[in-house]
């Protein structure tokens, strides 16, 4: 007999009207912001499939932007997210189009910070407020946002997985999931490590000192 949690039955605490199109969208935007590591000053959003067809009625655009501004799915300010973004002077472009053979509740978010750092994230809302990040900067992956997550980009070479795993073990951080994605165009590798515990700053610094990284971010467990 299949078991369900209370969350599965009643859904997330959120601003309505839809757990998929509103709460899930807010979580995708919030995760994208956390991957960038700061509030962006330029935002481009491409809405795909059902997101593209119904975003005005369901407030998907406002939810995505609210998440990008750091709002949680239950924050009533999500309703005013577009106005807040414009008031902050954020350059905001929202378009509809096709992202190919992906889930209909999918959006591509491109962010740029004032310092020039950029990130492109493709995320899917799978229902009940749950999401999957399926692409970061052209790397294919699967990330839920349900765990503390370390994201690292580096030149592909042996020993990297063992080094990161060893440092986390040293700090008694248990790995729930680890995925590695390679980009053949430039031999770069993306490592995504989801952990059961928070990752101490000292552990991140030790990883940075042990291996040469293009980028490393630790993303705290997302609010449900």
43-47, 59-63, 105-109, 184-188: least confident range: 184-188
Same-domain check for residues 124 and 160:
no
Question: Which of 105, 144, 141 has the alpha carbon at shortest distance from 120?
Answer: 141
CB 120 within 8 A of CB 71: no
Residue 156 has a CB neighbour count (10 Å cut-off) of 14
Please state, in angstroms and rounded to a whole number, the distance separating the CA atoms of residues 40 and 115: 9
Please state, in angstroms and rounded to a whole number, the distance separating the CA atoms of residues 36 and 53: 28
Structure confidence at residue 80 as a pLDDT band (50, 70, 90): very high
CATH of the domain at 50: 3.30.1330.90
Same-domain check for residues 166 and 68:
no
**pLDDT for residue 222:** 54
Mean pLDDT, to the nearest integer, of 118-146? Answer: 91
The whole-model pTM stands at 0.83
Q: Where are the beta strands (DSSP E) in 37-174?
A: 42-48, 91-96, 106-112, 118-127, 130-136, 139-143, 148-155
Q: Is residue 16 in a domain?
A: yes
pLDDT tens profile 166-179 = 999 999 999 999 99
pLDDT at 19 over 60: no
pLDDT tens profile 96-126 = 999 999 999 999 999 999 999 999 999 999 8
Total structural domains within the chain = 2
Same-domain check for residues 31 and 97:
yes
Residue-range definition of the domain harbouring residue 161: 148-219
Apex CA 215: angle with CA 218 and CA 40, to 5°? 75
pLDDT at 213 over 50: yes
């Amino acid at each position: 007999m299949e078991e369900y949690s209370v969350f599965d039955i009643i859904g997330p605490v959120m601003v309505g009207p839809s757990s998929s199109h509103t709460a899930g969208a807010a979580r995708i935007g919030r995760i994208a912001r956390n991957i960038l590591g700061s509030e962006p000053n330029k935002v481009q959003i491409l809405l795909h499939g059902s997101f593209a067809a119904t975003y005005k009625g369901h407030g998907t655009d406002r939810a995505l932007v609210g998440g990008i501004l750091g709002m949680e799915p239950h924050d009533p300010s999500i309703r005013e997210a577009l106005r807040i973004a414009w008031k902050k002077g954020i350059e905001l472009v929202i378009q509809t189009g096709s992202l190919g053979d992906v889930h209909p509740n999918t959006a591509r978010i491109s962010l740029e910070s004032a310092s020039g750092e950029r990130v492109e994230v493709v995320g899917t809302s799978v229902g009940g407020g749950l999401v999957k990040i399926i692409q970061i900067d052209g790397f294919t992956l699967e990330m839920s946002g349900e765990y503390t997550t370390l994201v690292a980009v580096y030149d592909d070479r042996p020993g990297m997985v063992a080094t990161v795993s060893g440092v986390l073990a040293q700090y008694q951080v248990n790995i729930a999931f680890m995925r590695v994605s390679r980009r053949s165009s430039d031999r770069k590798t993306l490592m995504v490590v989801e952990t059961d515990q928070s990752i101490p700053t000292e552990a991140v610094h030790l990883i940075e000192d042990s291996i040469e990284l293009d980028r490393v971010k630790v993303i705290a467990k997302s609010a449900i």
